[in-house]
Amino acid sequence: MVKRLPGAVIGSLLSGLLLCVTAAAAVSGEPQPQRVRHGLVALYDFSEAEGTVVRDRSGVEPSLDLVIERPDSVRWLGTGLQVEASAVILSAEPAERMIDAIKRSQGLTIEAWVTPANAEQSGPARIVSLSKNPSERNVTLGQDQDAFDVRLRAESTDRNGNPSTASRRNLAVPQLTHVAFTRIADGTTQLFVDGELAAAGEAAGSLASWDTSHRLSLANEVTGDRPFLGTLHLAAIYDRPLSPEDVQQNFAAGSVAFNPPPTPAERNAIAFSEQIAPLFAKHCIECHDPAIHEGGLDLSRGSAALRGGESGAVITPGSAATSLLWESVASDEMPKGRAPLSPSEKAALLEWIDGGAAWPTDVIDPVIYRHSNRAGEVWVQRLTVPEYIATVKAAVGVEIAAEARQRLPADLRADGFSNTAYNLGVDLKHVEAFSQLAEIIVGRMDVPAFASRFSNSRSLSTDNTMREHVAKMGLWLLRGPLDEREINAYCGIATTVSSAGGDFEQAMRFILEAMLQSPRFVYRIENHRGSGEPRHLSQFELASRLSYILWGGPPDEQLLEAAERNQLRGQAALEAQVARMLKDPRAVERSLQFVEEWLNLDRMAHLKPDGSRFPQWNASLAADMREETRRFFEEVVWSENRPLADLINAPLTFATPQLAAHYGLVPEGDGFQRYELPVGSGRRGILSQGSVLTIGGDDASMVSRGLFVLHDLLRGTVNAPPPCVNTTPPPTKAGLSQRGLAEVRIANQQCGVCHARFEPLAFGLEKFDGIGASQSQDEHGNALRDDGEVLFPGEAEPVAYRSSEELMNLLAASERVQESLTWKVVQFALGRPLVAADAEKLKEVHRVSQENGGTYASLMTAIVLSDLVQKTATEKAE
Partner 1 sequence: MKSRPVSRRPVSRRTMLRGLGSVTIGLPFLEEMHLSNAAAAEEAAVPVRAFNIFFGLGIPAPLQQEGFAGVLEPLKPLRDKLLVMRGVDHVRADEKGINAHYDGAAAAFTAAPPEGEAKAGGASIDQMVRRQWYPGGLPPGMVPTLVGGTFFRRSRVCRYVHSFNPDGTVAATMQEKPRDLFERVFGTVATAGDAADDNAQRLRRSVLDAVVDEYKYFTSVHSPLGATSKARVSEHLERIREYEQRAFALKGKVPEAPELPAGSRLLHGGAADPGGEGIDITLEELTAEWRLMAELYALAVTTDRTRFGSLTFLAAGERIRLKGDYAYEGRTVFAFDDAGQRKRSGSGGCSHEWWHDFDEKKSNEQLRAHAHLKLREVAYFLSLLDTPDALDPNGKTILDNALITISTESGDGRHNDVKRELSGVFHAITGAGGRFKTGQLLDVQAEGLDVYNTMLATMGVTQRLGPGNRPLTPVESIIA
| Residue 502 or 609 having the CB closest to partner 1 | 502
Residue 410 to residue 357: CA distance in whole angstroms: 48
Nearest-approach distance from CB 280 to partner 1, in angstroms: 27
> Would you say 465 and 459 are in contact if contact means Cβ atoms under 8 Å apart?
yes
Q: Is 61 in the site for partner 1 (CB under 8 A)?
A: no
CB under 8 A: which stretch of 71-79, 296-304, 505-513, 549-557 binds partner 1? 505-513
333 burial class (0-12, 13-18, 19+ CB within 10 angstroms)? exposed
Binding mask of the shown chain, residues 89 to 118, with x at each position contacting partner 1 by CB under 8 A: -------x---xx--x--------------
CB 9 within 8 A of CB 175: no
**Closest CB 741 distance from partner 1, rounded Å:** 44
Residue 461 engages partner 1 in binding (rule: CB under 8 A): yes
Q: In the bound complex, what is the minimum distance in angstroms from residue 493's beta carbon to partner 1?
A: 5
Segment interacting with partner 1 (CB under 8 A) among 526-534, 624-632, 786-794, 805-813: 526-534
DSSP label at residue 380: P
Are β-strands 188-193 and 652-655 bridged in parallel, bridged antiparallel, or unpaired? unpaired
β-pair partners for 54: 66
Residue 490, interface with partner 1 (CB under 8 A)? Answer: yes
Residue 868, interface with partner 1 (CB under 8 A)?
Answer: no
For position 614 contacting partner 1 by CB under 8 A, the verdict is no
Taking the least distance from each CB to partner 1, the nearer of 432 and 795 is 432
- Provide the minimum distance between the beta carbon of 164 and partner 1 in the complex, in angstroms, as a whole number: 20
Q: How many residues bind partner 1 (CB under 8 A)?
A: 69
Q: Which member of 162, 435, 681, 809 binds partner 1 (CB under 8 A)?
A: 435
At closest approach, how far in Å is the CB of 450 from partner 1?
17
Question: Do 42 and 58 meet the contact criterion of CB atoms below 8 Å apart?
Answer: yes
Among 224, 356, 416, 502, binds partner 1 (CB under 8 A): 502
Q: What's the CA gap between 203 and 581, in Å, rounded?
A: 31
> Which three-class secondary structure string do you get for 726-773?
CCCCCCCECCECHHHHHHHHHHCHHHHHHHHHHHHHHHCCCCECCCCC
Q: How far apart are CA 446 and CA 453, in angstroms?
A: 11
Question: Is-cis flag, bond preceding 519, omega within 30?
Answer: no
Long-range contact pairs involving 662-668 (C-beta distance under 8 Å, separation at least 24): 662/616, 662/621, 662/690, 662/771, 662/772, 662/773, 663/690, 663/772, 663/773, 663/774, 664/773, 664/774
- In the complex, the smallest distance separating the C-beta of residue 490 from partner 1, rounded to whole angstroms, is 6
Member of 528, 583, 843, 847 binding partner 1 (CB under 8 A)? 528
Residue 791 burial (C-beta neighbours within 10 Å; 0-12, 13-18, 19+) = buried
Our CB check for partner 1 shows the closer of 428 and 679 to be: 428
In this chain, which of 5, 18, 330, 380 binds partner 1, going by CB under 8 A?
380
For position 472 contacting partner 1 by CB under 8 A, the verdict is: no
Q: Considering only residues 365, 513, 596, 819, which one is a binding residue for partner 1 as defined by CB under 8 A?
A: 513
The single-letter code of the amino acid at 508 is M
- Binding status of residue 518 toward partner 1 by CB under 8 A: yes
Dihedral through CA 247, CA 248, CA 253, CA 255, nearest 10? Answer: 60
Shorter beta-carbon distance to partner 1: residue 405 or 528: 528
Q: How far is the CB of 802 from partner 1 (least distance, A)?
A: 50
- As a dihedral over the C-alpha atoms of residue 835, residue 706, residue 750, residue 796, rounded to 10 degrees, the angle is 70
The region of 45-53, 240-248, 492-500, 822-830 touching partner 1 under the rule CB under 8 A is 492-500
Smallest distance, partner 1 to C-beta of residue 186, A? 22
Among 377, 399, 446, 640, binds partner 1 (CB under 8 A): 377
CA separation (Å) from 851 to 119, 844, 845, 859? 55, 11, 10, 10
Determine, following the binding rule CB under 8 A, whether residue 534 of this chain makes contact with partner 1.
no
Q: Are 774 and 767 in contact (CB under 8 A)?
A: yes
On the 0-12 / 13-18 / 19+ scale of CB atoms within 10 A, 353 is buried
Q: Which is nearer to partner 1, 435 or 658 (CB)?
A: 435
Stretch that binds partner 1, among 324-332, 342-350, 489-497, 755-763 (CB under 8 A): 489-497
- Cα–Cα distance, 4 to 23 (Å, whole number): 10
Would you say 474 or 770 has its CB closer to partner 1?
474
> If binding is defined by CB under 8 A, does position 41 make contact with partner 1?
no
Q: Which of 625, 680, 698, 687 is nearest to 821 (CA)?
A: 687
* Residue number with CB closer to partner 1 (806 or 838): 838
Give me Rg for the CA atoms of the chain.
32
Regarding 503 and contact with partner 1 (CB under 8 A), the answer is: yes
DSSP state, 858?
H
Binds partner 1 by CB under 8 A, chosen from 170, 342, 373, 464: 464
Q: Is 872 helix (H, G, I), strand (E, B) or coil?
A: strand
CA distance 51 to 76: 9
Instruction: Assess 456 for contact with partner 1 (CB under 8 A).
Output: no
Write down the number of H helices and E strands in the chain.
Answer: 33, 24
Site for partner 1 in 148-207 (CB under 8 A): 159
* Euclidean distance between CA atoms 730 and 741, whole angstroms: 8
Which one of 402, 428, 572, 724 is in contact with partner 1 (CB under 8 A)? 428
- The whole-angstrom distance between residue 350's C-alpha and the CA centroid of its chain comes to 34
CB of 426 to partner 1, least distance (A): 4
489, 744, 751, 848: which one binds partner 1 (CB under 8 A): 489
| CB-nearer residue toward partner 1: 317 or 502 | 502
**Where does this chain touch partner 1 (CB under 8 A) — which range of 147-155, 332-340, 525-533, 712-720?**
525-533
Q: Which helix (H) or strand (E) holds 125?
A: strand 125-133
Asked if 336 interacts with partner 1 (CB under 8 A), we say: no
**Which of 12, 496, 616, 852 lies at the binding interface for partner 1 (CB under 8 A)?**
496
Q: Between 489 and 623, whose beta carbon lies closer to partner 1?
A: 489
The closest of 152, 157, 156 to 141, measured between CA atoms, is 152
Does residue 783 touch partner 1 according to CB under 8 A?
Answer: no
- Binders of partner 1 in range 387-426 (CB under 8 A): 422, 425-426
Query: Residues 206-235: x/- map of binding to partner 1 (CB under 8 A)?
Result: -----x------------------------
Q: Does 539 bind partner 1 (CB under 8 A)?
A: no
Interface positions with partner 1 (CB under 8 A): 96, 100-101, 104, 132-133, 136, 159, 211, 377-380, 382, 422, 425-428, 430-432, 435, 439, 459-464, 467, 484-493, 495-503, 506, 510, 513-514, 517-520, 522-523, 525-529, 873-875, 878
